[in-house]
């Protein structure tokens, strides 16, 4: 796949002399650059526009978990919003009233917040990701952000970075001194779902080849099967991608695999109907969960998770496998245990990092 090439870059004057603005100018020589006082919100989506603003809120955020389900205790480095991969199920379609690609030019402030957090909490492990409000690597060929973040984390004692993507844009990761502190992660789905619901993202072959290359470069890996969709003969599709994954990479490089059944805020249903008329995903039967999101009935979720869990555990019983936004009964029925037995989900993920990556506050 090819990286986006916006033809128009609108930059707020506050960040027009930033390092990010300079990198974008170098990487987009034929784009038109416009400097404005303040980028205005727009209701019209235009994939040719890239906005660069000074973000005035918290740049290091907590994962938007809810108290009713186990929370992974993740922190998110908020470097930008939106994504042009345009997956039919993407929650960003409903979340954000700014439809265009937007980056935050105050990268220095973001790193400052991160440094403060690490200094103030030296005795805990920090698991930090970037792919919550956009794809971690979609714009990396233009921004070079990974060339700043990966060495930053390499120099930390008790923090790991997870870069989560549906692209194969790993070019900037080659040759970086990552010091085993970065996890490169891919969202995966069955071939059928990839074609119908995420056609603009990298093919599964491209994603797995990129993962294998990253493992060869010494990066740790993670995979996220989210959203798992229930469709006719889903078992064949999901068994096939799991087998391809387990053939492509050595499971001992995988820090964790997550599973999350399709869930969405109610207002997304109408948006999917309007924007992705051919998609069938909003027409299943759903119930409203404790977090207000629509989700499959419990039995369907348990069936999806147990099916996936069985194949993964057969390949490597020690692999850290977790469920996104599920409660104790679903965990126990699908996987045979709940995170409570391991001190909670956050403690379980910390342990996976300590055991596999040998990173933690007690280590040098
Ligand atoms: S890759 Fe992720 S962020 Fe981008 S459209 Fe798809 S679901 Fe949304």
Protein residue with its CA nearest to atom 3 in ligand 1: 134
Residue 200 has pLDDT above 60, yes or no: yes
* 52 φ/ψ angles, rounded to the nearest 5 degrees: -125, 115
Q: Share the mean pLDDT of the chain.
A: 94
Residues in the chain: 364
User: SS3 for 272?
Assistant: helix
- Residue 169 belongs to some domain of the structure: yes
Confidence band (pLDDT; 50, 70, 90) for 360?
confident
Residue 64 has pLDDT above 70, yes or no: no
Residue 161 contacts residue 148 (beta carbons within 8 Å): no
Residue 363 has pLDDT above 70, yes or no: no
What is the reported pLDDT for 96?
64
- Give the DSSP per-residue string, 273-319: HHH-TT--GGGS-EEE-TTS-EEE-HHHHHHHHHHHHHHHHHH-TTS
What is the reported pLDDT for 290?
86
Residues 6+ apart with CB under 8 A from 172: 140, 141, 144, 146, 147
CA of 140 to the centre of ligand 1 (A): 15
Residue 198 contacts residue 166 (beta carbons within 8 Å): yes
CA of 336 to the centre of ligand 1 (A): 31
Residue 4 contacts residue 46 (beta carbons within 8 Å): no
The mean pLDDT value for 169-196 works out to: 98
* 104 φ/ψ angles, rounded to the nearest 5 degrees: -100, 120
CATH of the domain at 171: 3.80.30.30
* Binding pocket residue ranges, ligand 1, CB within 6 Å: 83, 85-87, 90, 92, 134-135, 166, 198, 201
- Give the DSSP per-residue string, 17-66: TSHHHHHHHHH-TTSEEEEESSPPP-SS--TTEEEEE---S-SEEE----
pTM to 2 decimal places: 0.96
Q: Domain limits at 188?
A: 56-357
Exposure string over 36-74, b if 16+ CB within 10 A, otherwise e: eeebeeeeeeebebbbbbbbeeebbeeeebeeebbbbbb
- Residue 49 belongs to some domain of the structure: no
> For the segment 137-156, what is each residue's pLDDT rounded down to a tens digit?
999 999 999 999 999 999 99
- Residue 7 belongs to some domain of the structure: no
- Residue 282 belongs to some domain of the structure: yes
Confidence band (pLDDT; 50, 70, 90) for 65?
low
22 has which bridge partners?
none
* 169 φ/ψ angles, rounded to the nearest 5 degrees: -85, 75
Structure tokens given for 165: 């993507």
Confidence band (pLDDT; 50, 70, 90) for 72?
confident
254 has which bridge partners?
221
The mean pLDDT value for 23-41 works out to: 96
Protein residue with its CA nearest to atom 7 in ligand 1: 90
Total structural domains within the chain: 1
- Residue 5 belongs to some domain of the structure: no
Which helix (H) or strand (E) covers residue 129, if one does? Answer: strand 126-129
CA of 85 to the centre of ligand 1 (A): 6
129-133, 220-224, 261-265, 309-313: the lowest-pLDDT one:
129-133
- Residue 261 belongs to some domain of the structure: yes
Pocket test for ligand 1, best of 79, 90, 98, 136 (most atoms within 8 A of CB): 90
Angstrom distance (rounded) from CA 68 to CA 349: 19
Angstrom distance (rounded) from CA 289 to CA 261: 12
Pocket test for ligand 1, best of 47, 83, 94, 137 (most atoms within 8 A of CB): 83
- Residue 225 belongs to some domain of the structure: yes
> For the segment 221-242, what is each residue's pLDDT rounded down to a tens digit?
999 999 999 999 999 999 999 9
Residue 189 contacts residue 157 (beta carbons within 8 Å): no
Give residue for tokens 């799991």: 242
Residue 32 contacts residue 8 (beta carbons within 8 Å): yes
Angstrom distance (rounded) from CA 38 to CA 28: 22
Protein residue with its CA nearest to atom 8 in ligand 1: 90
Residue 187 contacts residue 166 (beta carbons within 8 Å): yes
CA of 198 to the centre of ligand 1 (A): 8
- Residue 11 belongs to some domain of the structure: no
């Amino acid at each position: 796949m090819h990286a986006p090439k916006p033809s128009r870059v609108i930059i707020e004057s506050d960040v027009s002399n930033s390092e990010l603005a300079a990198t974008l100018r170098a990487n987009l020589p034929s784009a038109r650059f416009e400097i404005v006082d303040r980028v205005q919100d727009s209701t019209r989506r235009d994939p040719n526009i890239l906005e660069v603003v000074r973000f005035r809120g918290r740049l290091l955020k907590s994962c938007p978990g809810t108290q009713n389900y186990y929370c992974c205790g993740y922190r998110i480095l908020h470097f930008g919003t939106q994504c042009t991969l345009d997956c039919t199920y993407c929650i960003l379609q409903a979340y954000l009233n700014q439809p265009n690609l937007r980056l935050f030019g105050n990268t220095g402030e973001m790193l400052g917040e991160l440094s403060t957090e690490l200094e103030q909490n030296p005795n805990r492990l920090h698991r930090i990701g970037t792919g919550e409000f956009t794809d971690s690597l979609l714009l990396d060929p233009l921004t070079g952000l990974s060339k700043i973040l990966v060495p930053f984390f390499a120099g930390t004692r008790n923090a790991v970075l997870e870069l989560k993507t549906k692209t194969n844009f790993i070019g900037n990761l080659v040759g970086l001194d990552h010091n085993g502190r970065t996890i490169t992660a891919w969202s995966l789905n069955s071939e059928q779902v990839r074609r119908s619901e995420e056609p603009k993202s990298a093919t599964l072959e491209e994603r797995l080849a990129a993962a294998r290359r990253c493992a060869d470069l010494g990066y740790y890996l993670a995979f996220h099967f989210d959203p798992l969709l229930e469709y006719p003969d889903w078992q064949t599709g999901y068994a096939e991608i799991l087998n391809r994954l387990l053939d492509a990479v050595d499971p001992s490089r995988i820090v964790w695999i997550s599973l999350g059944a399709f869930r969405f805020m109610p207002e997304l249903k109408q948006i999917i109907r309007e924007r992705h008329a051919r998609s069938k995903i909003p027409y299943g039967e759903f119930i409203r969960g404790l977090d207000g999101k629509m989700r499959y009935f419990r039995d369907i979720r348990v069936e999806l998770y147990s099916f996936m869990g069985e194949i993964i555990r057969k390949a490597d019983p020690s692999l850290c496998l977790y469920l996104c936004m599920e409660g104790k009964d679903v965990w126990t029925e699908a996987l045979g245990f709940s995170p409570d037995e391991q001190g909670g989900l956050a403690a379980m993920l910390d342990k996976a990092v300590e055991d596999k990556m040998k990173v933690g506050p007690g280590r040098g």
